[in-house]
Amino acid sequence: MPDPSAEDHRGLRSDLRKVTRNTVLRIGGGSASGLGRFALTVVVARSFGASGAGAFFSGLAVFTFVSIVCELGADTGFVRTIPRFRALGRTEEIRRTLVVGLVPVFVISSLLAIALLAFAAPLTRLIAGGAGSGTVIAYIRTLAPFVPLSAVSTVMLAATIGYGTVVPTVLVDNVGKPLIRPILAAVVIAVGAGATALALSWALPIVVGLGVASVFLFTMTRRAETIDLGVHPAATAVAPVRSYRELGSEFWRFSAPRALAGALEGLLVRLDILLVGGLATTAIAGIYAASSRLLGLGSFVLGAVITAISPQISVALAVDDHDRAEALFQTCTWWLMIPSWAIYLLLAIYSPLVLRLFGTQFERGSLVLTLLSLSMLVTMATGPVSSVLLMGGFSVWNLVNSIAGMTAMVGLNVLLVPRFGLTGAAIAGSVAIMSVQLAAAIEVWFLLRLEPLGRGFRTVALAALGCVGAPALLSRAILGPTIPGFALTLIVAVPAYLFVLRRSATALRFAMLREALRGGKGAYRLVDEVVADRVVPEP
């Protein structure tokens, strides 16, 4: 394939400009989100200790998992369908598709919320051991009524991403909720309120978020119809508007496998906490939860890239431009690796120092943080590979990967946690994370003919290992996991890393990154540009 970084490659430059702006927004929002989640973890851990924190995060894990199940894969369905319909001249079908997607989500989530209220006690007996089980029940019952609101809000925000903007998602999920929650939690704890009040303080921002998401989605749908039907009338009228039944059949054929896969992925992220609580104690689960939640300091960058790249990949694959899709995929992965590999190397090497922020008893989780951080290097090296697989229409393969990851997670936890405790849980989590990513990378390579890594991978990997990993290891060996050692690492690593990356600017396509950051149209026009420049009739 010709080098897509050539100056005259207008298509790739345009895509990278769109993706970069949305990614920058998401990274900014993700930074705020990471700060808020970290603050909440510190507040809860220092106020309630390992056992109390374990009960709180176990309750949240159950709520979050059920909410993800209730999304039914409709979130990914909208991210793929909306830009695809606009590119194929079927904008008039978006409103009907929103209906056939959102109504089942609300109905199913309401039923599962009732079931969660009814079966909170037996469910808690499976996931929480020790004296904290009664508190876990209180958390689950308090949060259960908010399940439908959370699921519908998340799916609505995903639909706005399909229009090419991450602004609503950043405002609601990355800035609003995470920054308000630790403040409310601190107030509740300060006045001496109980578990019910703490759970309510965490859940109430969901109500506001749903209202904001509804306004954004309605406004953006009407705007897209005005643009596509008025400014570009030839882009619509490709075929008569299909019925709700036809649209529902098409939408759910893709989304149904994704529903189960999304549930398994959500459980995969949180099952380790629940299994540790069930196989060990809530105190051990609290230490594991605090350690694993630190992974969010680097993974939010991946979430930002996935959100930004998905509509563009969907359009590129819809019009059979695989070269453009591959170049976009690879370039975004390299840019993703640059900050995330540095963060995870530092977390892995200085894990005892970082965990000391939660209290001395949490230092027992240092090996957990080290192993999970190293596994995240694989996740970042393969980038948004699962999203690319989904945008290519292979939701069934994504489901297979999720089942394999879940099997590995459950089997290894049951085998290792009773014998090795936290270390066993860390091994199980690491294997599960890496297996899902590597399987998706192989499938993208063979099913979509897109090479996941590209030649920039080696450049970034060697730079991070040499400029960040090596100085960190040397500094810790001499000074130990101390603040002076960490500070010395940063003094040496940051300038060296930036120097090497600058020398590799051409290979990593930094000229396109600079161009993307400098100007151009706003985020709300991203998919509009695709419709204007590249409308292709549906075959």
pLDDT given for residue 358 in this prediction = 73
Taking the C-alpha atoms of residue 115 and residue 113, their distance in angstroms, rounded to an integer, is: 5
Identify whether residues 343 and 392 lie together within a single domain: yes
* Residues 131 and 286: beta-carbon distance below 8 Å: no
Token digits of residue 190: 């300060």
Domain extent for 375: 295-519
| Domain contains 528 | no
Boundary-marking domain end, from 293, 323, 341: 293
Q: Is residue 2 part of a domain?
A: no
Instruction: Say yes or no: 301 and 259 in one domain.
Output: no
How many residues are there in the chain?
539
Q: Give the amino acid at 227.
A: I
77: tokens are 């369905």
Residues 261 and 321 in one domain: no
Is there a contact between 330 and 441 (Cβ–Cβ < 8 Å)? no
Q: What is the tally of structural domains in the chain?
A: 2
Q: What are the helix (H) ranges across 71-132?
A: 74-87, 94-118, 120-127
355: tokens are 């965990």
Is 29 among the domain residues?
no
Token duo for residue 75: 């979130």
- Distance of alpha carbon 83 from alpha carbon 170, whole angstroms: 19
The phi, psi pair for 490, rounded to 5°, reads: -65, -40
- Position 527 scores a pLDDT of 41
pLDDT for position 31: 67
Q: Are residues 164 and 79 in the same domain?
A: yes
CA distance 15 to 328: 7
Same domain, 185 and 300: no
Nearest-5° Cα angle at 426, 296 to 179: 20
CA distance 22 to 128: 40
Residue where a domain terminates, one of 238, 273, 293:
293
Question: Does residue 31 belong to any structural domain of this protein?
Answer: no
Residue written as tokens 């469910």? 123
Pair 261, 179 in one domain: yes
Is residue 13 assigned to a domain? no
Cβ burial, residue 190 (10 Å; 0-12/13-18/19+): exposed
Write down the residue that tokens 């996740």 correspond to.
Answer: 379
- Domain assignment present for residue 156? The answer is yes
Averaged over successive runs of 10 residues, the pLDDT of the chain (539 residues) comes to 44 56 62 75 76 77 84 86 83 89 93 89 70 74 91 92 83 85 86 80 90 92 80 52 86 79 63 60 65 66 62 72 78 84 91 79 78 87 82 79 82 80 80 86 86 83 92 91 90 91 80 55 41 39
Residue 414 domain-assigned?
A: yes
Last residue of a domain, one of 293, 314, 339: 293
- Return the pLDDT at 470: 93
Among the listed residues 316, 451, 432, 294, the one whose alpha carbon sits nearest the alpha carbon of residue 383: 451
- Residue 412 and residue 423: Cα distance in Å, rounded? 11
Same domain, 112 and 195: yes
What CA–CA distances, in Å, run from 163 to 17, 156, 168, 393? 16, 11, 11, 18
Does one domain contain both 43 and 137? yes
CB 81 within 8 A of CB 97: yes
User: Is 422 found in the same domain as 467?
Assistant: yes
> How far is it, in rounded angstroms, from Cα 194 to Cα 340?
38
Same domain, 271 and 327: no
The reply to whether 256 falls in a domain is yes
Query: 31, 306, 61: which is closest to 174 by C-alpha?
Result: 31
If asked whether residues 283 and 310 sit together in one domain, one would say no
Same domain, 376 and 479: yes
H or E stretch including 414?
A: helix 395-420
Nearest alpha-carbon partner for 527 in 5, 19, 8, 2: 19
pLDDT of 331 reads: 81
Alpha-helical segments (H) within 280-321: 282-293, 296-318
Three-state SS annotation for 16-69: HHHHHHHHHHHHHHHHHHHHHHHHHHHHHHHHHHHHHHHHHHHHHHHHHHHHHH
